[in-house]
Structure 1
């Protein structure tokens, strides 16, 4: 799943160099609009529902944080 998350981040961030522990928000790799695109893409790819209340900076800090969040959602 980690590779899926990294690929999704690269897709919404125009191919940015992203590793598993890259700080996505702190390095401004994803902004608020890219975050919404990322959520939509992950929902489609992983058949998961991400509620607005789930969209917290801590859940999307790094690809590893995203993977942990998605695992908590049952993915």
Structure 2
């Protein structure tokens, strides 16, 4: 799962290299527009629905945070 999330983030963020703990929002690796792309790709890749109310900075701050969020959604 972690490799898939990392791949989605790197592809969406113009191929920037990130670690599992890189602050994605704080370092402006993903912005509000690219976050929507990440959400859409996560939904497609993992067969889940991410509600608007789930799109919180804490859920998308790092790749590890995204994985924890996906795990909480049953993935």
Shorter-chain TM range is over 0.9
The 5-angstrom pairing of residues 1-75 of structure 1 reads 1-75=1-75
What is the total number of aligned residue pairs between the two structures?
75
- Deviation of the 1:65 alpha carbon: 0.2
TM-score by length of 2: 0.98
TM-score by length of 1: 0.98
Q: Which runs of 4+ in 1 moved over 2 A?
A: none
Question: RMSD between aligned alpha carbons?
Answer: 0.4
2: distance between equivalents of 1:25 and 1:13? 11
Unaligned 5+ runs, structure 1: none
- Deviation of the 1:18 alpha carbon: 0.8
Unaligned 5+ runs, structure 2: none
User: Secondary structure of 2:53's match?
Assistant: helix
User: Secondary structure of 2:21's match?
Assistant: coil
